[in-house]
Amino acid sequence: MTQPKTNAPKTSAGTAVPQFTASDRKPIKLTEVVHPDGRISQYPPPDVWDDWVEWDGKEWPKRVARRYTLVPTVCFNCEAACGLLAYVDKDTYEIRKLEGNPVHPGSRGRNCAKGPATHNQVYDPERILYPLKRVGKRGEGKWERITWEQALSEIAEKMRASREKRRDGIVYHVGRPGEDGYTNRVVQAWGVDGHNSHTNICSSSARAGYNFWLGQDRPSPDFANARTILLISSHLETGHYFNPHAQRIIEAKTDGAKLITFDPRLSNTASMSDVWLPTWPGSENTILLAIANHLIQTNKYDKEFVRKWTNWKEFLQHVQQSTSAEWDSIRPLISNSPILFETFDAVLKQLYSEYTFERAAEESQVPIERIQEAAKYIANCDGKLAAHVWRSASVGNLGGWQVARCIFFLNVLTGSVGTEGGTSLTNWNKFVPKPFKSPPAFNAWNELHYPNEWPLAHYEMSFLLPHMLEEGRGDIDVYFTRVYNPMWTNPDGFMWLKALKDESKIKCYVALTPTWNETAWFADYVLPTGHGPERHDLMSQETHSGQWIAFRQPVRRVAMERAGIKVDFTYQANPGEVWEENEFWIQLSARFDPDGSLGIRQYFESPYRPKEIITVDEYYQWIFENSVPGLPEAAAKEGLAPLAYMRKYGVFEVKHENYAPYDKPLHATPEAGLASDEQDRVRDSAGAVVGLKVDDQFKVGFDTPSRKLEFFSDTLSNWGWPEKENVIPWVLKSHVDPDNIDLEKGEMILLPNFRLPTLIHTRSANAKWLYEISHKNPIWMNPDDAKRIGVDTGDLARVDTEIGYFIDSVWVTEGIKPGVIAISHHLGRWRLQEDSGVNRGASNLVDLSDDGKGGFLLRVVHGAKAWKSSDPDTSRIWWSEVGVTQNLTHAVHPDPVSGVHCWLQKATSVRKANADEKAGDVFVDTNKSMEKYREWLKLARPADQVSPDGNRRPFWLTRPLKPTKEAYKLKK
């Protein structure tokens, strides 16, 4: 591609300190213009965003006026999609700062620490500015700068070669998506089963649990209006969606709501709670079911809601037909009775009677009074229980998907489903508009993503990729990673190292990343793509009751276009030759299928200019004109085109509130064609299930196969998991159950996956303000345990896991449960060369050695250091410790149902470090890694043994990209 000329001024980002020019115009006073009563404004009103003058804070009290154009965009530092407002200099087009976007309905103009720190990422002196191609061996750290044209054509050539042979050779492996649907559409257009995600090390366990209940995999609690808030998470400091949720949780709390938090460690959230339940990991469900039992036995549950909306009839019928001894205790209640709700009530009372507060207190090692207090608040919630589990216990424990089942059971029992102050579902509060042309489902199945062993896996078995490659299950022709650093983020990173070094298994590896990361170091191509304010994306999140879409914009490009400068591609406005991914995928796909013979090119042709390759503007213009209800009208009111409206405000509120849509009457289809079956499902004339009959009324219902809330999961029952503990909300025995942890022998539980309010996995390394606040991850240890092993705060300890060990310092605190140690995720970044790789202020220089027999040793040469760069602040780096990469020592623990990696680790020994053991040391024996992998593999119940219908997995279960039904068929 010939790169078009532009008169866009280059940015200094990554190369020099940005310059801002003085304005000849004085600021206007908002106190006079907007608030005659003298109130103080938070933001300039949108009608002055185009041309805003304010005083320079650094020059003050000298009055130096600076002139900015204010461009709304969306934060990319977590998945919340909070609004940002970039202050772009009117002359130099440098970004002065990023504040919040006041018109954003989710974040409402406010941000967490990571929002303003986006500026650090843009002006990071260590960022990658040009496409790089490996010279020398993989991981040797030798690179040559190439053109984008070379990168695009070489990669497209490899993709075409693969696609002509097979439909599972190209993989797009995404960490933080940061957008809704764009790239999925691209992969779908390629006609390959190529989507891989990070979800299985993150949320898929909770998602699976919610999905079995609801047919939707994420809760959307209406925190702001709740009376009782129940969190198995740390939503006041991290998580989905930290800032918007934290705002609303505290609002509710200020209005008198009670906050209950489960966590073995005193998170900031736990500290802000009315009731903190420091549970023994794995005992959460016992408490949840004890509370459920309390509601059931005292008749404080919403019987009417349960009767109308749950599949209790199917459950009773199942028990009637079952011969399993597990149901013996309730069978007498059912066998002689008609299927009545009163029967179900009696069954519930019998079923859950074993879950007493006493048992919960004993198993969780939490004072019984606290559990009773929590139960009291939940019983009094009046249909306003906002409850949430996202990772935490659900991703920690074997069987953790049942945590979501059990917590949502409380929503069901209290009738807090979709109510004001209750818990709604993602699809009700998230809006994803359709693009101009959707590619059809592909007929392919990638066995490395959805292997036979896990027919119910919620999302791809991504973290097992290197183990499966090691077993010889397949190979990959072209492997893309996007905002993903598996070698560092995933468990068992040295297995990734092995896989990436083997060019016969991953033949071409392309890393799309704005900055260096540990995995990208082993790539064949490193392609710099933009940070948050350097790219287009469309995002929506279920932050509260209502729906909105937010438009991420490359702010310099928008500022230039406002000034009349022609910008054809975003990279012209970005630093160096940093591309935005939208344009990258378009250009790559066009080269992938230059003549349209593969049927791919058509999805990248303009809907406005036939046969021409689409521009990003056209892509979003079409969506805003055609797919967002109300947007064209709102834009017209301001005399703007829909795209111009979104460029101006960066956000649009699609629905203000959206409570209990399942209770809405069915009216989309003609009354005459609807009929209900014996399961109360309403079908249209074509036989498709479209709703639910509730007390003679046709309602929308839920997204499950039964259209009801599935207290009893027919899917689990039919797909090899028929036991009581699986099919209804129940306790599953965790791999860190007290039976499996011998405290006497010095074993402990390692809680390795909590997050800090200031960090964002691997991307915070290039945000100096965030690293200045938090840069190390000591081992939290209770004084009892510290005394036992003879360490104090600051001492080094050695933690042995199932596959290796690491050395880290200790933080002695009463804020953690005895017997449990906790270490934050995020930290322990490393680089292999002194002057290249992960940011020097944020990483250890390490020596990585391989004994050739599967043993890998990482030793720290030195920690963070100050250095001279285009940013004077890098010479002021004052910290040296940057933490320990504990994830390397984590054995993989694939849950046999959800497929998630169960993060909690068994620390086989925790002791004071010896003199020759240095902070940051990590050793792993990858032979043991494979052993542990095989051990967990045995827990799975493979599709070819359990499938009731000859398919690989239930068709109704979510997959990010669904293939054709044909592809679901198990191979004979």
CB 737 within 8 A of CB 899: no
| Nearer residue to other proteins within complex by CB, 46 or 783 | 783
CB neighbours of residue 20 within 10 Å: 21
Least separation, in Å, of the C-beta of 459 and other proteins?
A: 29
Minimum CB separation of residue 550 from other proteins in Å reads 17
- Quick one: 24 or 32, whose CB is closer to other proteins? 32
* Cβ–Cβ < 8 Å for 758, 114: yes
CB of 810 to other proteins, least distance (A): 9
In angstroms, the CA 128 to CA 862 distance is 23
CA distance 877 to 769: 10
d(CA 4, CA 427): 41
119/893 with CB nearer other proteins? 119
Omega cis (within 30) before 608: no
User: Nearest 5 degrees, angle CA 431-CA 435-CA 440?
Assistant: 110
Q: Which is nearer to other proteins, 276 or 442 (CB)?
A: 276
Show the CA angle centred on residue 530, arms to residues 528 and 533, nearest 5°: 165
DSSP state of 374: H
* Cβ count near 605 (within 10 Å): 19
User: Strand, coil or helix: what is 385?
Assistant: strand
Q: How far is the CB of 777 from other proteins (least distance, A)?
A: 7
Of the pair 65, 848, the CB lying nearest other proteins is at 65
- How far is the first Cα of the chain from the last one, in angstroms, to the nearest whole number? 47
The amino acid sitting at 504 is: S
Phi, psi of 584 (to 5 degrees): -60, -45
The least distance separating other proteins from the CB of residue 820, rounded to whole angstroms, comes to 11
Q: Which is nearer to other proteins, 291 or 756 (CB)?
A: 756
Q: Which long-range contacts (CB under 8 A, 24 or more apart) does 608-617 make?
A: 613/586, 613/587, 614/586, 615/568, 616/536, 616/570, 616/580, 616/582, 616/583, 616/586, 617/643
The nearer residue to other proteins, 366 or 892, going by C-beta atoms, is 366
For the bound state, the minimum distance from the C-beta of residue 343 to other proteins, rounded and expressed in Å, comes to: 41
CA proximity to 803, closest of 915, 884, 893: 893
Contacts of 99 (CB under 8 A, 6+ apart): 43, 84, 85, 87, 109, 111, 115, 116
Q: Is the peptide bond before 61 cis (omega within 30 degrees of 0)?
A: yes
Question: Smallest gap, in angstroms, from Cβ of residue 755 to other proteins?
Answer: 11
Q: Which residue has the tokens 């539980």?
A: 749
Closer residue to other proteins, CB minimum distance, 248 or 556: 248
Q: Which of 397, 431, 489, 442 is nearest to 208 (CA)?
A: 397
Q: Which is nearer to other proteins, 198 or 235 (CB)?
A: 235
For residues 321 and 878, which CB has a smaller minimum distance to other proteins in the complex? 878
Least Å from the CB of residue 109 to other proteins: 7
Q: Which is nearer to other proteins, 52 or 352 (CB)?
A: 52
Tell me the two tokens of residue 904: 């909690």
* Phi, psi (deg, nearest 5) at residue 241: -120, 100
State the minimum distance, in angstroms, from the CB of residue 123 to other proteins.
Answer: 11
Q: Which is nearer to other proteins, 34 or 641 (CB)?
A: 34
At residue 145, φ and ψ (nearest 5 deg) are: -80, 130
Contact 240, 80 (CB under 8 A): yes
Question: Smallest distance, Å, CB 555 to other proteins?
Answer: 15
User: What are the helix (H) ranges across 713-782?
Assistant: 714-718, 724-727, 768-773
265 vs 467, which CB is nearer to other proteins? 265
How far, in Å, CA of 644 to CA of 478, rounded?
A: 37
Whole-angstrom Cα distance, residue 435 to residue 702?
Answer: 25
Q: Return d(Cα 797, Cα 878) in angstroms, integer.
A: 24
